[in-house]
Amino acid sequence: MALFHRDIKEDNILLKSLSPLHVCLADFGLAVTSREGATHGGQLTHVAVEVYLGRRYSYIADIWSLGVTALSLLRRFPKKEAQCFFRGRDRAQEAKYYEKLLSEASSFHGYFGELIKHMLCTPDVRWTAVECLQYLGESPDTGPSRLVHHRRR
C-alpha cells in the first residue's frame, strides 16, 4: 500500500537546512493510503495530467506535482502565470496550461532539466521517487549532497 500526498506544492515543502540540503513535506491533510487513486486532491496547477483527466492514478502523480513545483521554484513557470490558465474553468485554456508546462519542461536543459523531463511525462515512463534520488546520486536513506554540490558550481 502506498501513501499519496496529493497536495505537493511550494507551500508544502519545508526547508530544514541548506547545507546539507534537507527538506520535508508538510500538510498531509489530503493524503490517502490506497493502491490506486480515484478522487481528486490538491491544487489544479500542480495535479498530474491523469488526475486532471479523471483517470485512475497512482502515487507517481505526486512526482508530477514535485516536477511542477521544481519548475516554479526555478522560476521557469511562475505560480501566478500558472493560475491564469485555470480562471473560469475553460477546458481548452486548461489544456494550454499542460502544453505550456510540457514545453517548459522539455526546453529546460542540463542536470535539472533531465530530472524534470522525467518527472513531467506520462505515468508509464515517469520516474519514481527512488529513481529521482538515484539520478541525483543518492539512496533514499542519504541526503542530497550531490544536489547541493551541483548548485554551488
pTM, whole model, 2 decimals? Answer: 0.80
Tens-place pLDDT, residues 17-45: 888 878 899 999 888 887 666 677 778 88
Q: Contact at 8 Å (CB) between 37 and 57? A: yes
**Cα–Cα distance, 130 to 136 (Å, whole number):** 10
Question: Using one digit for the tens of pLDDT, what is the confidence trace for 87-145?
Answer: 666 778 778 888 888 888 888 888 888 899 999 999 999 999 999 989 988 655 555 44
For residues 9 and 115, give the distance between their C-alpha atoms in angstroms, rounded to a whole number: 17
Domains and their CATH numbers in the chain: 2-152 (1.10.510.10)
User: How far apart (Å, rounded) are the C-alpha atoms in residues 46 and 98?
Assistant: 10
